[in-house]
Structure 1
Amino acid sequence: MGNASAEEWMQVREAGLYCVPANAYIDPHEAVERAIITHGHADHARSGHGEVFATVETTAIMHTRYYIEGETQETALTYGQKHDLGNGVTLWFASAGHILGSAQAVLEYNGTRVVAAGDYKRHPDPTCAPFEVVPCDVFITEATFALPVFQHPPLEVEVEKLMRSMRALPHRTHIVGVYALGKCQRVMKTLRQAGYEEPFYLHGALKRLTELYESYGQDFGEWILVSDIPRADKHVFQGKVVLCPPAQINDRWSRRFADPLPTVASGWMQIRARARQKRAEMALVVSDHADWGDLIRTCEETKAPDIWITHGRVEALEYELKKRGIRAKALNLIGRDESVE
């Protein structure tokens, strides 16, 4: 590896990170002619592209969330399946461990390998494939939680906190704010593994993506839409888990529950001020991103002499990597949204 400088063929343009010989953008924040999409979150995937390259699962997510059949020319790849983008560029996807179908985009050109990791995590997740370390010449990483304060606990620890609260407060309705894609399904699956046997009650915004996960073999047990329960039957929810988008935990929607206990599941809950801002009575530190230690570990394990950092706490990660003898630089891409945590 390393025969051609990546800076000669990978550029930052207005729409995002651009592979010149393939005429393709990686996770562009606006509609482009050719797009390589790492995963289905809205700050990485969108409608309007002429041509899309993504994993099979991400393609399905994009159909569910963003566009209809036939709107965009699609190439859906399995992990490790190589595809010729033209002009000597080969693309393949390696798992990123972020959500269902999430991938690192691996681009090989003229003897050089660049890995654009998108969003990723190293903690185990029963709802998606684990992160795969890919040796490369350039590793392009996020830095959402790139500060030493961010050391994410195992999800099982946070789920046990929730279980203890339900045992201690059986009269209360535990309303858990979760992002609809990935976080919701991961929390449900981990609760089942921890022994939670009651039905889940879901906000309608979580329905389609939970069904999509089930179509790929995930089993969450019984779940019921909140809207299917008569408003007068508040007692049904007591001692149960209700899952909804974070914005709804203190919204008018939550008034239908008996003695609600607002809870937010997010990596940002490690910061008390963030928990207070969300008016969360219980804060669960649940992140689908790599924490400080895993960001550094991953950059080192790729053996990449050059690390490019897309967004987040860029300066802190850049400084730490340079201390360790790794060439690091900030790309300062726009269009990335941390609210998905």
Structure 2
Amino acid sequence: MARLGSWIEPFPEGIYVKPADAWVDPSQPKAKALVTHGHADHARGGHGAVWATPETLAIMGVRYGEQQERPVVYGETIRVGEVEVSFVPAGHVLGSAQIVLEYKGERVVVTGDYKRRPDPTCEPFVVTPCDVLITEATFGLPVFVHPDTGSEIDRLLHRLHAEPERCVLVGAYALGKAQRVITELRGRGHEAPIYYHGALERLCRLYEELGVPLGELRPATGATKDELKGRIVIAPPGALNDRWSRRLPDPVTAMASGWMRIRQRARQRNVELPLVISDHCDWEELTRTIREVAPREVWITHGREDALMHWCALHQIKARELNLVGYEDEDD
């Protein structure tokens, strides 16, 4: 009897689906690519045909230019080679999808990156039962317990109002996290203009074009220090401590990331206000997802594999590490 999922072969550069002659999230250019979402560690340029959601293809277009697009909307089933393929929401960022692969009576779900928390910028994660769940484990340790997002946004606003002569400079990943922080702020009643680093402009504009309202945004470049007092400024994490930030009025340096749970990481980045806001599952959400999906096997692409492997063994679920290369962003 063939091994479960024997038609799928992991390589360091991605997951090869043999009867489709296609790759999932390959890190090197391939003739056929199935892409879960637009982050650069999963969506690369230079492929031949690219199957992804329309939103992910739009994001890739902004980043990489024209490509051979094969849009697949949520819930649609297509055929690639001998494999039936569908995309269901992953809840990670706008357009993110789990890729469902069905072949000869077996169903394999590749989650890509995902989260279970509500996010006003994207469709929520959909539990999809399967035989093999191929999952990430970015925060796959019991120490990772993400707090309520609203409480973290309230901490940000409290600090903003407590020191009106300063601004709050929030480091947030340019795709997904920045737009999520903005919409969460709007949801907590913050209607004032939010200023942004120039690196965020194209993606913020794209989000609005795709139907995600962000409210009034203004470029921080060119604004005076007086204009920026008492304001929130969003920037890529790499800009927090560079020369660009010196133009700001004594900024409270904040960063929105699941890694802010680790105090040493916050200190290393000179972060004064760590905000534990993640676009990945925490430990409880990872293990709950596995229980709800109820797969026969769990394959782990990247992250803290050992702890999740041990948890699966304790719950009598067969698991394996795939050791894929090039995934995971330190700032997400």
- Opposite residue 44 of structure 1, the aligned amino acid is H
1:142 partner SS: strand
1:41-190 paired onto structure 2 within 5 Å: 41-68=39-66, 72-87=67-82, 89-190=83-184
Q: Does residue 205 of the first structure (1) align with residue 195 of the second (2)?
A: no
Contact 1:177 1:265 in 2 (8 A): yes
1:16-27 paired onto structure 2 within 5 Å: 16-27=14-25
**TM-score (norm. length: structure 2):** 0.98
* CA distance in 2 between partners of 1:9 and 1:215 (Å): 39
Q: Cα offset for 1:14? A: 4.3
* CA distance in 2 between partners of 1:61 and 1:269 (Å): 27
Contact 1:4 1:112 in 2 (8 A): no
Contact 1:264 1:283 in 2 (8 A): yes
1:118-168 C-alpha deviation (Å, 9 max, x unpaired): 000000000000000001000000000001110101211100000111111
Q: Does residue 220 of the first structure (1) align with residue 210 of the second (2)?
A: no
- Opposite residue 19 of structure 2, the aligned amino acid is P
2:10 partner SS: strand
Give the match for residue 10 of structure 2. 12
* CA distance in 2 between partners of 1:252 and 1:197 (Å): 28
The number of residue pairs the alignment matches comes to: 332
- Opposite residue 88 of structure 2, the aligned amino acid is A
1:8 partner SS: coil
Give the match for residue 256 of structure 1. 247
- Opposite residue 33 of structure 1, the aligned amino acid is A
Q: Does residue 324 of the first structure (1) align with residue 315 of the second (2)?
A: yes
Identity of matched residues, %: 51
Q: Cα offset for 1:322? A: 1.1
Q: Which moved more, 1:14-23 or 1:198-207?
A: 14-23
1:201-247 C-alpha deviation (Å, 9 max, x unpaired): 00000001111110111111111011242xxx211111110000011
* CA distance in 1 between partners of 2:12 and 2:140 (Å): 25
1:49 partner SS: coil
* CA distance in 2 between partners of 1:14 and 1:198 (Å): 46
* CA distance in 2 between partners of 1:107 and 1:218 (Å): 29
Q: Cα offset for 1:279? A: 0.6
- Opposite residue 90 of structure 2, the aligned amino acid is A
Q: Cα offset for 1:4? A: 6.6
1:7 partner SS: coil
Contact 1:4 1:111 in 2 (8 A): no
CA RMSD of aligned residues (A): 1.1
Give the match for residue 279 of structure 2. 288
1:299 partner SS: helix
Q: In 2 relative to 1, CA 76–167 (structure 1 residues): closer, same or farther, beyond 3 Å?
A: same
* CA distance in 1 between partners of 2:22 and 2:84 (Å): 12
Match of 1:303 among 291, 294, 307: 294
2:45 partner SS: coil
* CA distance in 1 between partners of 2:205 and 2:189 (Å): 22
Q: Cα offset for 1:339? A: 2.1
Contact 2:5 2:108 in 1 (8 A): no
1:16-54 C-alpha deviation (Å, 9 max, x unpaired): 110001011100010011100000000000111011110
1:285-337 C-alpha deviation (Å, 9 max, x unpaired): 01000000000000111110100000000011010111011111111111113
- Opposite residue 25 of structure 1, the aligned amino acid is W
Q: Cα offset for 1:5? A: 4.2
Unaligned regions of 5+ residues in structure 2, if any?
none
Unaligned regions of 5+ residues in structure 1, if any?
none
* CA distance in 2 between partners of 1:198 and 1:5 (Å): 57
Q: Cα offset for 1:65? A: 0.8
Q: In 2 relative to 1, CA 37–340 (structure 1 residues): closer, same or farther, beyond 3 Å?
A: farther
2:55 partner SS: helix
Q: Which moved more, 1:308-317 or 1:210-219?
A: 210-219
Contact 2:22 2:32 in 1 (8 A): yes
